[in-house]
């Protein structure tokens, strides 16, 4: 059974973690596949938005600790061999490095814990079922949140709360997560994917070059001064305004019709 599933509907690609018996816990094999999916989606002009979710009511419970401990692993030989020569693919799979040039929307049901939380922190828009829970609990098992969680959580929510979550290993519910700004939408359980896809469809209907330019600027300028960030965005601004889509948008507005964008 594939550990990661993909399905494209129009310009929206849905990526589903598919190990429900283990609450979609990650393996080297699934991280290898995720790394390839992100790379392929970034290069595919037909994909404008990605939705990331988990199968059967759970987002992702992190790395498969039972597998790490030697219990009935779910790895394939190709992934193990890849790990010898491509040490960076796990971080790319977790969206710690090599982040895409397109928005990623998380649809969370159940647990987004440890590596699952780190995957979440690499996404852009987050929708969660009201019963979802979040946390970086690695220290409880004498492990380190190596998928970007230490750096990102403390930048995305207030520092004292981030430290509390990471050092106690406690889990938080959707109410607290929303109050902290960790997630943007709370929906009834079982509705996160539907809502995420609705948001994705809205984004996919917008000018793809403009969306990509906004995403690139947001990601690349986070650590820059305002002056540096303004300089960084100038070529992106020029490219967007010089595109055919930038002519189509105002024309469609004037003609009171829906614009048709081609990404050029």
Give the integer Cα–Cα distance in Å for 90 and 173. 27
Give the integer Cα–Cα distance in Å for 4 and 53. 10
Q: Both tokens of residue 83?
A: 């790990």
Q: Of 109, 118, 212, 233, which residue is the catalytic one?
A: 118
Q: Both tokens of residue 114?
A: 């440890």
Q: Tell me the DSSP string of 33-91.
A: HHHHHHHHHHH-TT--EEEEEESTT--B--B-HHHHTTSS----HHHHHHHHH-TTHHH
Residue given tokens 């990650």 in the structure block: 26
Give the integer Cα–Cα distance in Å for 24 and 40. 22
> Cβ distance 131 to 112 under 8 Å?
no
Active site residue 56: no
Q: Of 7, 81, 130, 138, which residue is the catalytic one?
A: 138
Q: Could you tell me if residue 133 is left (phi over 0), alpha (psi between -120 and 50 degrees) or otherwise beta?
A: beta
Question: By C-alpha distance, which of 88, 106, 108 is closest to 96?
Answer: 88
Active site residue 138: yes
Task: Identify the three-state secondary structure at position 31.
Answer: helix
Give the integer Cα–Cα distance in Å for 4 and 107. 15
> Cβ distance 110 to 174 under 8 Å?
no
Residues designated as active site: 118, 138
């Amino acid at each position: 059974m594939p550990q990661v599933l993909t399905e494209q509907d129009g310009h929206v690609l849905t990526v589903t973690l598919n190990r429900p018996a283990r609450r979609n816990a990650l393996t080297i094999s699934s991280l290898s596949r995720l790394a390839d999916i992100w790379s392929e989606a970034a290069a595919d002009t037909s994909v404008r938005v990605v939705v990331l979710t988990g199968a059967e009511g759970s987002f992702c419970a992190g790395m498969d600790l039972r597998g790490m401990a030697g219990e009935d692993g779910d790895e394939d030989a190709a992934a193990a061999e890849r790990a010898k020569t491509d040490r960076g693919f796990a971080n790319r799979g977790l969206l710690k490095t090599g982040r895409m040039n397109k928005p990623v929307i998380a649809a969370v049901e159940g647990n987004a814990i440890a590596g699952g939380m780190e995957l979440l922190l690499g996404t852009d828009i987050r929708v969660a079922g009201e019963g979802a829970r979040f946390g970086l609990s690695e220290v409880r098992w004498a492990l380190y949140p190596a998928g970007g969680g230490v750096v990102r959580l403390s930048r995305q929510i207030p520092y004292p709360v981030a430290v509390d979550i990471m050092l106690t290993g406690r889990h938080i519910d959707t109410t607290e997560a929303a109050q902290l700004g960790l997630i943007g939408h709370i929906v009834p359980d079982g509705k996160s994917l539907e809502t995420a896809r609705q948001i994705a469809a809205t984004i996919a209907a917008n000018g793809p070059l403009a969306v990509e330019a906004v995403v690139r600027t947001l990601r690349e300028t986070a650590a820059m001064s305002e002056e540096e960030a303004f300089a960084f965005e100038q070529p992106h601004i020029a490219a967007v305004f010089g595109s055919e889509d930038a002519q189509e948008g105002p024309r469609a507005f004037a003609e009171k019709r829906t614009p048709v964008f081609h990404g050029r």
